[in-house]
Amino acid sequence: MITEVLSVDAAQPDPAAIRRAAAVLRRGGLVAFPTETVYGLGANSLDAAAVLAIFAVKGRPATNPVIVHVADPGDVSRVAATWPDKAAALANRFWPGPLTIVVSKRAEVPDVVTAGGPTVAIRCPAHPVARALIRASGVPLAAPSANRSTELSPTRAEHVLSGLDGRIDLLLDAGACSGGLESTVVDAAGERIRLLRHGLIGIPQLERIVGPVEVASEMPGIARSPGQMEKHYSPRTELRLVEGAALVDDLLEAAHAGKRVGSVMFHGEGFWPERAASQHISLPAEPGQAAALLYDALHRLDGAGLDLILVEVPPEGPEWAAIRDRLTRAAAR
């Protein structure tokens, strides 16, 4: 298979390109497209065979359900059986945007989408290309991140191609994703809102709308989101998290042992990525800006032929929780 790449304007995508991509989706094909978080790998969510192809292409375990994307909040009724008040309140505040809401599913949603479970995860993305594509295809789109399972998520078209070139029908290239980290996932099917995955929207922001939020991974004996495998979001190169104070020593030690080492710190003054040729990357000290550049930095270092990537442990605080979460998983062996 040859993967067709169509470049589109991020704010005002060419309608002809969108129509072409939508036609691929309607006949059961796979299209990678940009969202405000990361690039997604889309298929018609109501076509079980098309969704199955996503799992095959990604090497994704069948036990890990995928998110269904709608163009407008009003379209949730196509896949959701119920829409609890708290789900509606969160959608009202954060959609379109980087929040995924899990509720009970309609029978029309194929089992492959939900890994056989009774719930479906729904997101209304903010990216104009994503919304135009979902609208033109006329169906809600199942879309995990457009990378091979366990690997780094893509924030640029080049990242998608490095993992999936020749395995998917079409890629809409609209440049870099502005958010850079995956959506926050919450379970709204029960009494209380439960956080299943940290993401661009932090717990304090959620709690302002719905009151106390439980964090699934911190509750003993309660299953986490099925996709929250320990190793995930990982570069191929070994990645180690180290305290900032130890970073320089560890760098010297590894270099002394003959290793080619790269590093990521969170002290940038904003002049990266002009210095992208360097294998020592300084990301901004502001969490939103760091999130936007993190995966790109890791993709670059992963492609630089290194033996080891050292990453500074990010600062404490809820606004760094998603970055800490992804880096901890990236470092898991």
Binding site for ligand TXA (CB under 6 A): 35, 37-38, 40, 64-67, 98, 100, 102, 114, 117, 119-121, 123, 125, 143-145, 182-183, 185, 196-197, 225-228
User: Closest CB to Mg ion among 95 and 295?
Assistant: 295
Q: How far apart are CA 291 and CA 301, in angstroms?
A: 16
Cis bond leading into 96, ω under 30°?
A: yes
User: Closest CB to ligand TXA among 36 and 47?
Assistant: 36
Least spacing, CB of residue 66 vs ligand TXA, in Å: 5
Please, what is the angle between helix 321-331 and helix 287-302, to 10°? 20
Q: Report if residue 37 touches Mg ion, rule: CB under 5 A.
A: no
Name the CA dihedral angle for 130, 132, 135, 136, rounded to a multiple of 10 degrees.
-120
Residue 315 partner contact from Mg ion, ligand TXA, none using kind-dependent CB cut-offs of 5 to 8 Å: none
Task: With residue 280 as reference, give the H or E element that holds it.
Answer: strand 280-284
Q: Determine whether 289 is exposed, middle or buried from the number of CB atoms within 10 Å of its CB (0-12, 13-18, 19+).
A: middle
Which residue in this structure is represented by tokens 């790109």? 296
Residue 114 partner contact from Mg ion, ligand TXA, none using kind-dependent CB cut-offs of 5 to 8 Å: ligand TXA
Q: Determine whether 228 is exposed, middle or buried from the number of CB atoms within 10 Å of its CB (0-12, 13-18, 19+).
A: middle
Least spacing, CB of residue 246 vs ligand TXA, in Å: 31
Residues in 84-143 at the binding interface with Mg ion, rule: CB under 5 A:
none
Least spacing, CB of residue 143 vs Mg ion, in Å: 10
Task: With residue 293 as reference, give the H or E element that holds it.
Answer: helix 287-302
Those residues with Cβ within 8 angstroms of residue 332's Cβ, 6 or more apart along the chain or in another chain: 230, 231, 232, 234
Token readout for 171 is: 């890629």
Contact 38, 155 (CB under 8 A): yes
Residue 198 partner contact from Mg ion, ligand TXA, none using kind-dependent CB cut-offs of 5 to 8 Å: none
Nearest CA to 126 out of 233, 10, 227 is that of 10
Contact 225, 216 (CB under 8 A): yes
Q: Applying CB under 5 A, what is the total number of residues that bind Mg ion? A: 1
User: Closest CB to ligand TXA among 160 and 306?
Assistant: 160
Least spacing, CB of residue 56 vs ligand TXA, in Å: 14
User: Closest CB to ligand TXA among 64 and 279?
Assistant: 64
User: Closest CB to ligand TXA among 113 and 308?
Assistant: 113
Residue 42 partner contact from ligand TXA, Mg ion, none using kind-dependent CB cut-offs of 5 to 8 Å: none
User: Closest CB to ligand TXA among 98 and 235?
Assistant: 98
Least spacing, CB of residue 19 vs ligand TXA, in Å: 21
User: Closest CB to Mg ion among 150 and 289?
Assistant: 150
Residues in 145-174 at the binding interface with Mg ion, rule: CB under 5 A:
145
Least spacing, CB of residue 285 vs ligand TXA, in Å: 24
* Rg of the chain taking only CA atoms, in angstroms: 19
User: Closest CB to ligand TXA among 35 and 263?
Assistant: 35
Residue 282 partner contact from ligand TXA, Mg ion, none using kind-dependent CB cut-offs of 5 to 8 Å: none
Q: Interface residues with Mg ion (CB under 5 A)?
A: 145
